[in-house]
Chain A
Amino acid sequence: MSEVIWGLATSHVPSIGAAMDHGKTQDPYWKPLFDGYQPARDWMAEHTPDVAIVVYNDHANGVDLEVVPTFAIGTADHYQVADEGWGPRPVPDVVGDPELSQHLVESLVDDGFDLTLFQDLDVDHGLTVPLSIYCPDPGEAWPCRVVPLLVNVIQYPQPTAARCYALGKAIGRALASYEPDVKVAIFGTGGMSHQLAGARAGFVNPEFDAMYLEAIQTDPERLAGLSREELIRMAGSEGIELIMWLIMRGAMNDEIRRVHETYHVPASNTAAALALFDNRVQ
């Protein structure tokens, strides 16, 4: 039987990837963030999954505004790293897991989640930066297969926090009925508080972020009750990305153990965080 072994909540700011790609992680600007990642990286390196489900959003690279799927899943065996306008990141292409994707699609549709399917998808920083945060030096290939799960967080109305949490629960049920003996990691990406446009650009809310970082483990129901308006007001117009963490959380057990967390302002215009949870609490 498959088993979720850990969940990683992490920001996916493009400049975090650029700092790694250009050898700037020891610069004073970036060092505190990368130092904060290290204990989580060390632990994850000892607990390699067979496959990772990465919940993320595309940023005008794999998908444009002609079609705006609320929830979508990749079903391919290979995903090319997107050229976002300055050439693709120098990281390996992503190897998919079409068998798991197909199982998730069937189980989730039967469970009332009618996902859009991507048979061809270029993956952007929303997916590759979290992979780099997990594994900074992948060499020729990432350490595990990847199933991309995309959420529309760019165009209003985004799915509700409650719907994201329910989708996570449904993913947990789907994995529980997946017979191959695979170890699964699940990534919830985006956030924390930030706003890119408008007079409130640069908004950061450390109190809200601290609450969210704690409650994602201990009280996800509370977070699932936040409205779109509350999320945008308290986390900024792009901070609403935090709903994607609830998909990760929903797929995990009620009781999880916090392995490590870190929080740092800024990564470019964003409050950046990482929280790593062990799903196997004895």
Chain B
Amino acid sequence: MTTHDLPGTPIFDGGASRRGLHMNQLFMSLRSAANRERFTADEVAYCDDYRLTPEQRRAVLERDWQAMVDLGGSIFYIYKLAMMDGRSMQYLGGVFSGMTEDEFRAALIAGGRTDV
């Protein structure tokens, strides 16, 4: 088994990083308050500025978190968009693992998901 064959475990490798570069750069830009304002004012135009692919653009605009990962997003970069929406890492964990945020949080408080 190689690293890339682990079930349920996306690996952010060189190919993903190339595919996702522009989208990850968009997420990185959200560190600045001025950019956050500009993004909020016109998300479509902001995505166009960063030359996202149509699939990436849809994923960002529709907040399809799983698709962002599949299209080359790094979780640490994606998280910056989630924070703009007031979403926590527990919320994202729930999305990825098919749970509500409360269920995910409870699973961690119970000791984490030791059986996956």
Interface residues, chain A, CB within 8 Å of chain B? 15, 29, 59-61, 64-66, 68, 82-86, 154-157, 193, 195-206, 228-229, 232-233, 236-238, 265-266, 268-269, 271
What are 27 contact pairs spanning A and B, CB under 8 A? A61-B31, A65-B77, A66-B21, A66-B25, A82-B31, A83-B31, A83-B32, A85-B30, A86-B83, A154-B12, A156-B11, A196-B89, A196-B93, A198-B9, A198-B10, A199-B116, A200-B8, A200-B9, A201-B97, A201-B104, A203-B112, A203-B114, A229-B1, A233-B6, A237-B12, A268-B108, A269-B108
Q: Say yes or no for B74: interface residue by CB 8 A criterion.
A: yes
Output the nearest chain A residue to B83 by Cβ-Cβ distance.
Answer: A85
Whether B28 and A64, one on each chain, are in contact in the complex, defined by CB atoms closer than 8 angstroms, is yes
Q: How many A-B residue pairs have CB under 8 A?
A: 141
Judge if B52 is at the interface, Cβ distance under 8 Å.
Answer: no
Chain B: interface size category: 35 or more
Bound CA span A271–B116, Å: 15
The answer to whether B112 touches A265, judged by C-beta atoms less than 8 angstroms apart, is: yes
Q: Quick check: B25 and A64 within 8 Å, CB to CB? A: yes
Instruction: Evaluate whether A202 and B104 lie within 8 angstroms (CB atoms) in the complex, with A65-B17, A233-B6 already known.
Output: yes
Please give me the residue from chain B that is nearest to A63 by CB atom: B28
Which chain B residues lie closer than 8 Å to A85 at the CB level?
A: 30-31, 36, 80, 83-84
1/0 per residue, CB under 8 A from A, across B72-108: the answer is: 0011110010011000111011001110000010011
A197-B69, A228-B3 given as contacts; is B11 within 8 A of A266 (CB)? no
* CB-based contact A271/B11 at 8 Å: no
Distance between B86 CB and nearest chain A CB, rounded to angstroms: 10
Point out residues on B near A: beta carbons under 8 Å: 1-3, 6-14, 17, 20-21, 24-25, 27-28, 30-32, 36, 69, 74-77, 80, 83-84, 88-90, 92-93, 96-98, 104, 107-109, 111-114, 116
Interface residues of A, dominant DSSP: loop
Contact check, B13 vs A156: say whether CB atoms are below 8 A apart: yes
The answer to whether A196 touches B92, judged by C-beta atoms less than 8 angstroms apart, is: yes
In the complex the two chains form, what is the Cα distance from A68 to B3 in whole Å? 20
**Which residue of chain B has its CB nearest to the CB of A57?**
B76
